[in-house]
Amino acid sequence: MDKMISTANGEVIITNDGATILNKMEVLQPAAKMLVDLSKSQDSAAGDGTTTVVVIAGALLKQCLLLLTNGIHPTVISDSLHKASTKAVDVLTAMAVPLEISDRESLIKSASTSLNSKVVSQYSTLLAPLAVDSVLSVVDPAKPDMVDLRDIKIVKKLGGTVDDTELVKGLVFDKKASHAAGGPTRMENAKIAVIQFQISPPKTDIEQSIVVSDYTQMDRILKEERNYILGMIKKIKATGCNVLLIQKSILRDAVTDLSLHYLAKAKIMVIKDVEREDIEFITKTLNCLPIANIEHFRAEKLGHADLVEEVSLGDGKIVKVTGIKDMGRTTTVLIRGSNQLVIDEAERSLHDALCVVRCLVSKRFLIAGGGAPEIELSRQLGAWSKVLHGMEGYCVRSFAEALEVIPYTLAENAGLNPIAIVTELRNRHAQGEINAGINVRKGQITNILEENVVQPLLVSTSAITLATECVRMILKIDDIVNVR
């Protein structure tokens, strides 16, 4: 099920992403804040399983309360939980199936599983392959286990439907080209410069005023300004540059109307107000250098592309740069949607899918979903607890019972009888069906691996490890001291 979040300023968010929900909540209780941070940690480590990690932590805390009530010391419980989580990771690793990065179909199945619970789940056949292709296109052969998601730019544009979402091999700017004085809006064989200086009359860094005593001095000032701007544009044109990307300036206009007039006459296409944080991505994509001063404007600092054009999308316009020469290992995803709520949720869902594929690139193992690994962990840890002595075995058994909260909650959310489902899962796993899990679509227990409901091993191991660490930290706190 999804949640609608209404913020104090009237913003409405519809999502079922655990990290987003917890991040927006006003949490005051210190231990609850630790759970919010736990969800953030899972989001940064694996990108998915943000709800799972908090649910497991909550179930473990509930079991710890029972153990404390029975007189077991917190240190004994903490040490036992650590041993249980280490054993759990070993069991999960033994259950995992190796994956080759060239196996595109398996990657798509994993991405689809992460999208199945989202608002945009009906678009998983589009978004899952898109996420896989995006990640694979930015993997560096020199570092095949590393993926930087900052190399994948997500641009949101209102209009159309999620079906219109596309992967662009190039750059997309959510703004139109400058039309002042009839400047060009399409440029073939583009030579692109990314500039970080202003094409406007110079101003000193100190605050000062100029007193003009007569009109001839005023004419002279205007003439000098025109000559200064014209000189800059001649230097730009001399390098063969025909497309300018101008960084947004917070101090003054990055480009004046007079500058735009001269640039239009020189047949130079202008895209202004490029955000500072986008400059690194743009220069990496274009394989060029940003230019901080007109004196450093050189032809070798330009990027080259087959086409830069302004495109109409619904009521708005975007600028696309395609056919980039010697393009860096980056890619752009253009997300479309009928309203802002859908677009924002599509972005969050796509981010989760990208993170899942990134997990599989860094740790190439798959594991079944649908509550199958948790039930198998519960069974094996329960059996292991019987060979342990004293309180340790009792604590490990409680850990095993806590893990059953995942299939229980999954069955409950699917409208099934959770007690009957969990009982049947136990029986099936006891008979050796380690991949038996809850098939939400069919409303029954099936071999979940054959149903292509899979997830990265890293998501499951990270969730159990982080949840255990958080619970152990809370467990060792015996008092809260309020200070000034």
Residues with catalytic annotation?
Answer: 17, 50-51, 352
DSSP per position, 269-320: EEEEEE-GGGHHHHHHHHT---B-SGGG--GGG-EEEEEEEEEEETTEEEEE
Q: What angle do CA 323, 325, 326 make, to 5 degrees?
A: 130
DSSP per position, 97-129: EE--TT-HHHHHHHHHHHHTTSTTGGGHHHHHH
DSSP per position, 163-210: GG-EEESEEEESSPPP-GGG--SEEEEEEEEEE-S-BS----SS----
Indicate the SS3 state at residue 28: coil
Q: How far, in Å, CA of 266 to CA of 249, rounded?
A: 23
Q: How far, in Å, CA of 43 to CA of 41, rounded?
A: 5
Q: What angle do CA 194, 200, 204 make, to 5 degrees?
A: 110
Query: How many beta carbons lie within 10 A of that of residue 428, not counting itself?
Result: 19
Contact predicate 297/291, CB 8 Å: yes
Q: What are phi and psi of 481, to 5 degrees?
A: -110, 120
Classify the C-alpha dihedral 447-453-459-465 as positive or negative: negative
Question: Taking the mean position of all CA atoms in its chain, how far away is CA 306?
Answer: 30
Distances from the Cα of 452 to the Cαs of 210, 266, 366, 446, 483, in angstroms?
73, 57, 11, 11, 53
For the chain, the straight-line distance linking the first and the last C-alpha, in angstroms and rounded, comes to 41
